């Protein structure tokens, strides 16, 4: 079979600020946006025509042309204001109608719909049915697991996620789509058990990293980076959107224990916060740091520019992923690829793929003493640190390069191409 037999792909990712150069750290704009764009770029590089379809709002243009094979295509619906991902599906009928009208008016043809997250999945299923083409869905996260792991969160925050509605829609979506691409084995198991799906309907393909961008640097270069960004070998770096499930409060809880073990340790928190709700969370976390006496040991960096992401990973003494819930944990893979010792959450999809003590360390972030102890291990013992630096980078590069991930994903698409094309009547 020729390598490129698909032709055209429609990838749907509705929430957040999706763009050729995304503004990471803005509301709902993080790992999933990076995932979709990097995968789309590799599909285009392999010769496929790709439209990444998203929502047009605020003052965004109708499209971003990335190259001859790839564009970001924005469909207006739901007005001009930002809509958070938990509410996006309220508008999916308008999105479906507007997109299908545009597709038919332009006489566009697609071979596969590949949707990302459940908001895009619900609408993507209807679009695929209307166009009579297969629909491959990538959940990124699961409502059932997220609800379970966030039970201890603030009651108002928990209610905002609308979990009952989400889980029901996910259940129907998984039964109707042609195939599910999960990003971890843990996710596969949850879809099987909690959503009652046959294993043969699911394939596990992990996210990838830009292996040319996230790399270690020589010692002299590392010194320059640390000086430029005011980062030290005793700093613990955490990055992500301001969200309850990201566990910023949990790592603040771990800081008193860490300070006992490492008096010079400092927490560098790069929490992207743009909305009023995000800023409210930051205020709550800063108050917690003051209440437990560690405010002087927390450096709030806010949004880190995309050009500086790799250097921030490299410059830290340890990278920590303290999430209550993390579908995979791409920031941890990026940090490992940069040669930074990493401590992972047990509440995510990555921890069961690494070898503890060789590639990374693992701890439960809801147990602050345990999490602090693992961070200290990476700071305290040079022999362990050296192992994590070298083996973590090797593991990340070999297992999570984007081109290999794209080829594996295309292999799934190929299996379903043409499933709904009418059979020729050979007797005619």
> Which burial class, exposed, middle or buried, applies to 242 when counting CB atoms under 10 A from its CB (0-12, 13-18, 19+)?
buried
Flag whether 214 is in a domain. Answer: no
Q: What is the pLDDT of residue 156?
A: 58
58 inside domain: yes
- Rounded-to-integer distance, Cα 119 and Cα 161, Å: 13
DSSP-H helix ranges across 134-275: 143-149, 155-160, 163-176, 185-194, 219-229, 248-261
Query: What's the confidence (pLDDT) of residue 146?
Result: 82
In a shared domain, residues 46 and 69: yes
- The rounded distance, in Å, linking the Cα atoms of 248 and 240 is 9
Tell me: do 233 and 152 sit in the same domain. no
Residues 326 and 189 in one domain: no
Alpha carbon distance 6, 50 (integer Å): 11
Determine the pLDDT at residue 427. Answer: 53
> Does 182 share its domain with 324?
no
Clarify whether residues 251 and 196 are in a common domain: no
| Rounded Cα–Cα distance for residues 195 and 385 (Å) | 40
Cα–Cα distance, 52 to 115 (Å, whole number): 10
Rounded Cα gap, residues 273 and 221, in angstroms: 30
3-class DSSP state of 298: strand
Backbone angles phi, psi at 126, to 5 degrees: -65, -40
On whether both 18 and 55 belong to a single domain, the answer is yes
The pTM for the full model equals 0.69
CA dihedral 293, 297, 303, 305 (to 10 degrees): 180
The tokens describing 373, both together, are 């102890």
Q: Does 329 lie in the same domain as 409?
A: no
Partnered with residue 320 across adjacent β-strands are 343
Q: Are 307 and 200 members of one domain?
A: no
Q: Is residue 424 situated within a structural domain?
A: no
Question: pLDDT of the chain along its 428 residues, tens only?
Answer: 344 456 899 999 998 899 888 877 788 777 789 899 999 999 999 999 999 999 999 999 999 999 999 999 999 999 999 898 888 888 889 999 999 999 999 999 999 999 999 999 999 999 999 999 999 999 998 888 888 877 655 555 666 778 888 999 999 999 999 999 998 888 899 999 999 999 999 999 988 888 889 999 999 999 999 999 999 999 999 998 788 888 999 999 999 999 999 999 999 999 877 778 788 889 999 999 999 999 999 999 988 888 899 999 999 999 999 998 887 788 999 999 999 999 999 987 788 889 999 999 999 999 999 999 999 999 999 999 999 999 999 999 888 888 889 999 999 999 999 899 876 555 54
Task: Decide if 278 is inside a domain.
Answer: yes
For residue 84, what pLDDT is reported?
A: 85
Q: Find, among 204, 210, 174, 202, the residue nearest to 330 by Cα.
A: 210
Asked whether residue 80 is domain-assigned, the answer is yes
Structure letter (DSSP) for residue 216: -
Residue pointed to by tokens 């990201």: 246
Helix (H) or strand (E) holding 378: helix 368-380
SS3 9: strand
CB atoms within 10 A of CB 65: 11
Q: How many helices (H) and strands (E) does the chain have?
A: 15, 14
Dihedral of the alpha carbons of 101, 105, 109, 113, in degrees to the nearest 10: -20
421 in a structural domain? no
Phi, psi of 162, rounded to the nearest 5 degrees? 50, 50
User: Does 194 share its domain with 230?
Assistant: no
What SS3 class is residue 231? Answer: coil
Cα distances (Å, whole numbers) of residue 173 to 78, 127, 195: 22, 13, 10
Give the C-alpha separation, 28 to 224, whole Å: 33
Domain carrying residue 198: 8-208+402-416
Rg (CA), the chain: 22
Distances (CA, A) of 408 to 84, 124, 207, 333: 31, 21, 11, 19
248 and 120 within one domain = no
Confirm whether 53 is domain-assigned.
yes
CATH assignment of the domain containing 396 = 3.40.50.2000
Domain presence at residue 422: no
d(CA 33, CA 147): 22
Residue 81: DSSP 8-state: S
Euclidean distance between the first and final Cα of the chain, in Å?
28
Characterize 169-199 residue by residue with b for buried, 16 or more Cβ atoms within 10 angstroms of its Cβ, and e for exposed.
bbbebbeebbbbbbbbebbbebbeebbebee
Whether 195 and 231 map to the same domain: the answer is no
Phi-psi region of 28 (alpha: psi -120 to 50; beta: other; left: phi over 0): left
Residue 348 carries which DSSP code?
Answer: B
Count of residues making up the chain: 428
Q: How many domains does the chain have?
A: 2
pLDDT at 2: 40
What span, in angstroms and rounded, lies between the C-alpha atoms of 172 and 150? 23
Instruction: Determine contact, residues 345/323, Cβ cutoff 8 Å.
Output: yes
Q: Both 92 and 105 in a single domain?
A: yes
- What's the pLDDT score for residue 349? 74
């Amino acid at each position: 079979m020729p390598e490129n037999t698909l032709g055209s792909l429609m990838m749907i990712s509705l929430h957040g600020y999706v763009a050729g150069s995304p503004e990471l750290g803005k509301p709902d704009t993080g790992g999933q946006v990076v995932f979709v764009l990097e995968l789309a770029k590799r599909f285009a590089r392999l010769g496929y025509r790709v439209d990444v379809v998203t929502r047009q709002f605020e003052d965004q243009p109708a499209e971003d042309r990335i190259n001859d094979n790839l564009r970001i295509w924005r469909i207006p619906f739901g007005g001009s204001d930002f809509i958070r991902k938990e509410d996006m599906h309220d508008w999916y009928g308008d999105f479906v109608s507007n997109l299908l009208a545009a597709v038919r008016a332009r006489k566009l043809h697609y071979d596969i719909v590949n949707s990302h997250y459940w908001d895009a999945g619900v609408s993507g299923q209807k679009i695929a049915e209307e166009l009579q083409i297969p629909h491959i869905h990538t959940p990124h996260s699961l409502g059932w697991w997220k609800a379970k792991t966030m039970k201890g969160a603030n009651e108002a925050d928990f209610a905002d996620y609308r979990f009952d509605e989400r889980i029901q829609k996910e259940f129907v979506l998984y039964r109707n789509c042609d195939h599910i691409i999960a990003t971890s084995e843990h996710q596969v198991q949850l879809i099987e058990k909690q959503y009652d799906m046959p294993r043969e309907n699911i394939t596990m393909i992990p996210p990838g990293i830009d292996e040319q961008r996230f790399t270690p640097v020589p010692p002299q270069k590392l010194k320059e980076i640390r000086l430029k960004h005011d980062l030290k070998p005793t700093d613990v770096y955490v990055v992500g959107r301001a969200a309850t499930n990201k566990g910023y409060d949990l790592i603040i809880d771990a800081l008193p224990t860490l300070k006992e073990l490492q008096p010079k340790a400092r927490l560098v928190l790069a929490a992207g916060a743009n909305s009023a709700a995000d800023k409210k969370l930051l205020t709550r976390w800063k108050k917690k740091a003051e209440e437990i006496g560690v405010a002087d040991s927390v450096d709030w960096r806010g949004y880190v520019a995309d050009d500086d992401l790799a250097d921030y990973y490299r410059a830290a003494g340890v990278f920590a992923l303290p999430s209550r819930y993390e579908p995979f944990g791409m920031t941890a893979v990026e940090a490992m690829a940069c040669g930074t010792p990493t401590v992972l959450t047990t509440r995510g999809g990555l921890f069961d793929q690494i070898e503890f003590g060789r590639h990374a360390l693992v701890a439960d972030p809801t147990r602050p003493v345990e999490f602090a102890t693992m961070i200290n291990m990476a700071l305290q013992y040079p022999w362990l640190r050296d192992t994590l630096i070298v083996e973590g980078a090797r593991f990340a590069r070999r297992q999570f390069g984007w081109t290999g991930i794209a080829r594996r994903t295309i292999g799934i698409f190929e299996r379903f191409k043409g499933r709904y094309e009418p059979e020729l009547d050979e007797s005619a």
